[in-house]
Amino acid sequence: MTAVATERVEPAEPSALPLLPEEPRRAGPVTRRLLARTAAVLAALEVGAVALLLAGGPTAEVVGSSMIVPGGGLLHTGRPVLFALTAALVVLCIVLWWAMSLAWGIPAVWLVSGIAAVALDDGTRWGWAVPVDFAIAATCIGAAAWSFERRFRT
């Protein structure tokens, strides 16, 4: 036996609940503002670093390379162990930032490594370190952008 519907069913009324947007924004307004501020500060650091590197002079080179990445000046002055220690401290500061909102850790390590690079400068220069510092900075920026986009797209 087969059942046949004899009445016509009317479609339901539109729901009063708003639908989710098909193309949502990547971040809310506050997060967008904070990301823009962070990007502006990092861009200003990089522009300042390039200006100091182009200005020349031994101290300007060390300060400029210190502004590219944390520990960049230490690598430029031939201290790879201190550069590696700075990188490890930055990773620790990132963990502490996530764990207990230690937002001042990375800038503090960056500043102390720059001061140490200027203080320990004895005239030794590794000229290849400046392009390596810029490559490290570009890699970090690319990794952060890729991670953000990957989380948004999935």
Whether 9 is covered by a domain: the verdict is: no
Whether 148 is covered by a domain: the verdict is: yes
Output DSSP code: residue 27.
Answer: S
The boundaries of the domain holding residue 115 are 30-153
CA distance 47 to 84: 24
Whether 14 is covered by a domain: the verdict is: no
Q: Check whether 116 has a pLDDT greater than 90.
A: yes
Whether 62 is covered by a domain: the verdict is: yes
At 101-114, the pLDDT tens digits run: 999 999 999 999 99
pTM, to two decimals: 0.77
Cα of 49 vs its chain's centroid, Å: 17
Q: Which residues contact 60 (CB under 8 A, 6 or more apart)?
A: 52, 53
Domain count, the chain: 1
At 9-53, the pLDDT tens digits run: 676 676 677 777 777 788 888 989 999 999 999 999 999 999 999
b/e per residue 130-139 (b: at least 16 CB within 10 A): bebbbebbee
